[in-house]
Chain A
Amino acid sequence: MAIDDIYTKGIADGWKVVDASTLKQDQTYEADVAIIGSGAGGGTAAEILSAAGLKVLILEEGPLQTAANFKDMNDARAYGELYQEGAGRATSDGAVAILQGRSVGGTTTVNWTSSFRTPPQTLQYWADTFALKGGGEADMAPWFAQMEERLGISPWAVPPNANNDALKRGADKLGWAAHVIPRNVRGCWNLGYCGLGCPTNAKQSMLVTTIPSALKNGAQLVHHVSVRKLQFSGGKVSGLSAEALGPDGVKRSGVNITVKARHYVLAGGAINNPALLLRSNAPDPHQRIGKRTCIHPVNLSLAMMPEKVEGYYGAPQSVYSDEYQWKHGATGPAGYKIEVAPMQPLLGSVIFGRYGEELKTGMAQLPNMQSMLALLRDGFDEQSPGGSVEIDDSGAPVLHYDFSDYMWDGFRRAYLSMAELQFAAGAKQVMPLHLDSRPYESWEQTRTAIGGLQYRKQRVPVFTAHLMGGCAMGEDEKLTVVDSDARFRHADNLSIIDGSIFPTSIGANPQLSIYGFACKNATKLAGVLKA
């Protein structure tokens, strides 16, 4: 029984889908709205704008891959083909590994389905600090509700897998808050391979929801195309130039693509959007493009459990703890959200980060390994200004990100919380992931060891899967790149609709925040363009 990949039939029925790697000659496309990127922001905008009767063109750098590709549930293929830089993207000094999607559907094709509304503390902070208008909790509630309905978002009703259950068990024992994670799934098989592309179309990613819907509305999708420059002239974007990639999605094919549109929407994410604007010499009088890039820096802790955990099977994230997220409100010492990470062997080995016998004996215990992660909430304190995106001589994006003592203190406390939870859940051993750590036998021993670790770049392995900011929104034009409706300040026909407009991190996995703001801003834009 093959799973319907949706696109084979759609294309046969006349959907306009172009694989730019097959083009032999330079092309020009025209549209009412050109959307650059097909992830949470671009996909949502494409559906709304096409439904309003606008002629929409979606440009995606990555490949079109579907359930027909995902059916092998193979981690090596998925990380290589569905992630930015083959999952090898990193900050400029290599200290933070970056997992970010790169295919039709963007990161929604490979994310772990956790769906939270933007916390009210975060929305209030944006209003207070960046003069964001119309982004309060009550303002946003209907937009979140609309997208929750659209994408089947609701708390996971199935019992958590053992990896998540350990988090719940530990939290219950310690009397800490822990709750069920809402997921964007319909008819989920509870397999656990969300990060490799959903093989059953249950995950309500852009790939299987808004993009097919936009294509039904007559939108055109061109994939394997890398947008190089926007042309700015006379207070507008007058066109964009792009290059087709070859079938391997890496090399350019030599075919050039030109796009003319009434309106342009950037939706390439918090690294690629600022890079495109910088390559294009976009007007930026206050030097705000690419600033305040927030990443929810992640550190991890592994536990050896007496029973099998099989963290590679079952919904990857279904329980979270915000016990230490809002202790001091939005500001104060860095808050963090605690979740778990799925443990297929490739990702497991990269997280583990050891060699020789240590690697062999550690990884051999994968079935009993429980993995905890902490998402640090960055961007809410003067000592946590986020990073910055620049471009190198070739125009390629480079993300610089530094950690202050404020953030190192957050990592230290997060290690402590994770280890405490893991021992409370019955762990035999806990290993906070650090270059100098080893497995420890008791909470007391682990607590002492964590206190003695060095808190420095590289010694603390840091990961991110949440790229936010770089094109901040709000009414304070000295601090922001777009206004409260996500319109670029210095060109009438340019909007930015994705996670790059968030002025801080979210304090929760960001996809529903992106959907909600995209829904609001694309709906407003459709009204303007149809007027």
Chain B
Amino acid sequence: MRNLPSSEAGAGPETVDATRRTLLQTGLFGSLLLGAAGATATLSGCTGRTEATAAGYKFLRDADLPFLRALLPGVLGSLLPAAGMERDRLLDDLLHRIDLSGYRLGLPSQKALAQLFDLLNMRLTRRLMAGIGPWEESTPAQVQAFLERWRGSSFAVLNTGYRALIKLVAGSFYGTPAGWAAANYPGPPPGPYQVFNS
């Protein structure tokens, strides 16, 4: 099972299920979502997902990647280049930036984020909470409709998920050269930059 990377003491190997149990106690994502997640795990006989982080990643697991690959075009829309090498490279870069953001979180926030991804990855909770079919088959418009529902929801926990996802993606994108260009940000002042870096 995935070992959540952390600098915190006593943070031994943690399974996703252990994470869920902890969250049942701490209630970070609320009993609403946890109830749904637990029900799904029970109904489907699913006790967990892939055990290790995805190859080349420090935090994300294989099961997270299809969701994030669908989320990125949903959040970024036409900020992404058209299909091609440039787009593929940028998406890959953004996935790794998101991965690093997750990796650097403290254990409590890592657990919450892992749980959010779990909910969005498991079939029943995905349909129930996000109202969307398999991520591999979703269109950016469908992803945006899901984001809009979570933004508008009167459940604060869904607003939390909305804000976390937007922050991960937008914060990653606007830290790249493509993001700087999209923000019409010229970059650090060229004179001093040259002075420091020559």
Query: Counting CB contacts under 8 A, is A327 at the interface?
Result: no
Q: Which of A173-181, A332-340, A347-355, A490-498 contacts B (4 or more CB under 8 A)?
A: A347-355
Query: Counting CB contacts under 8 A, is B197 at the interface?
Result: yes
Q: A residues within 8 A CB of B75? A: 355-356, 359
Q: Is the CB of B184 within 8 A of A367?
A: yes
Q: Which of B1-57 contact A (CB under 8 A)?
A: 5-11, 22, 26, 28
The answer to whether residues A354 and B8 also contact, given A191-B192, A367-B185 and a CB cut-off of 8 A, is no
Q: B residues within 8 A CB of A357? A: 77-78
Q: Is the CB of A363 within 8 A of B108?
A: no
The answer to whether residues A356 and B112 also contact, given A243-B7, A345-B174, A366-B185 and a CB cut-off of 8 A, is no
Q: Is the CB of B28 within 8 A of A93?
A: yes
Residue A85 contacts which of B105, B173, B182, B183 (CB distance < 8 angstroms)? B105
Q: Is the CB of A363 within 8 A of B6?
A: no
Q: B residues within 8 A CB of A228? A: 9
Q: Is the CB of B7 within 8 A of A395?
A: no
Q: Is the CB of A392 within 8 A of B112?
A: no
Q: Which of A7-15, A136-144, A438-446, A455-463 contacts B (4 or more CB under 8 A)?
A: A455-463
Q: Is the CB of A396 within 8 A of B11?
A: yes
Residues of B in contact (CB 8 Å), total 60
Q: B residues within 8 A CB of A6? A: none
Query: Counting CB contacts under 8 A, is A30 at the interface?
Result: no
Tell me the smallest distance from the CB of A94 to a CB of chain B, in Å. Answer: 4
A249 to B174 CA separation, bound complex (whole angstroms): 24
Tell me the smallest distance from the CB of A377 to a CB of chain B, in Å. Answer: 25
Query: Counting CB contacts under 8 A, is A236 at the interface?
Result: no
Q: Is the CB of A394 within 8 A of B9?
A: yes
Q: Is the CB of B183 within 8 A of A89?
A: no
Q: How large is the interface on A (under 10, 10 to 19, 20 to 34, 35 or more residues)?
A: 35 or more
Q: Is the CB of A458 within 8 A of B156?
A: yes
Q: Is the CB of B159 within 8 A of A80?
A: no
The answer to whether residues A359 and B107 also contact, given A75-B175, A80-B101, A94-B163 and a CB cut-off of 8 A, is no
Query: Counting CB contacts under 8 A, is B103 at the interface?
Result: yes
A370 to B50 CA separation, bound complex (whole angstroms): 46
Q: Which of B122-130, B131-139, B164-172 contacts A (4 or more CB under 8 A)?
A: B164-172
Residue positions of B touching A, CB distance < 8 A: 5-11, 22, 26, 28, 74-79, 97, 100-101, 103-109, 112, 144, 147, 151, 156, 159-160, 162-164, 166-167, 169-176, 179-180, 182-185, 188-189, 192-193, 195-198
Pairs A–B under 8 Å by Cβ, sample size 7 = A345-B174, A349-B173, A355-B76, A355-B77, A367-B185, A457-B156, A458-B160
